[in-house]
Structure 1
Amino acid sequence: MGLLKSIFTWWDGATIGTRLFSSRNGTRVGEDALGNVYFEGGTTTDGRKRRWVIYNGSNDASRVPAEWHTWLHHTTDITPDQLPAPRTWQKQPLPNLTGTEAAYLPSGAMERGGVRAAATGDYEAWSPN
């Protein structure tokens, strides 16, 4: 199933054709900590270099770190390996957790029982008069 899956399923990682196209028509620029590989090659209609990413795993744009996102969208021409080290207070990026067990659920969510905390009475509705 692995070979057939890699040929026909584009939503769960890159297909074989995409990988071959990237290796033949693009120049490998770098790789991030998640294993995503970044390429550059050819030109767009406005004359800029075409840039793309081959995800390591599922195709989820939230898995692209901010540094690589700026490079992909031509905000900067500097690749992250040329940037200074991240500050100590910066957190590591998280993938989109929607639909997973780790997704945020507020206390009144149906998945957590659907019971909201009682109103405290500190809210006063706005009135124009």
Structure 2
Amino acid sequence: MVKQITAVDLHVGQRVRLQRKCRGLTQTQLGEAVGVSFQQIAVYERGINRIGASRLEQIAKTLGVAASFFYQTDVGDPEQSEHAAETMRATEEGYDLIIAFLRIRHPRLRRIVIGFVEELADAETR
């Protein structure tokens, strides 16, 4: 029988990966901190293996969040939310965009990027 990856396991694993990356940790570093191999962290992050409650608590403590963080799916309207940065960083694309944006040193270029992204967002709502 082939094991099915559940949507919950995949979501929790993605949240682990994103928070790990935001904290600047490698899979090896996180694995060492919680007592598993980097391969096991990779398996968790892909949602292939379910993370047990006590292990999830260890991961949460290491990453500086509550265990409930990994289950959050709705943090509100990104334009109205106090959690806009968390909403953005909760996706891999958002995280990549933040990292790339922070590499732009000139304020004028940053404003151009913001204007471009706003235009794209406005065009999508038309």
Q: TM-score, normalised by structure 2?
A: 0.26
Looking at secondary structure, tell me which structure has more strand per residue. Answer: 1
Looking at secondary structure, tell me which structure has more helix per residue. Answer: 2
Q: TM-score, normalised by structure 1?
A: 0.26
Which of the pair has the greater relative contact order for Cα pairs under 8 Å at 6+ separation?
Answer: 2
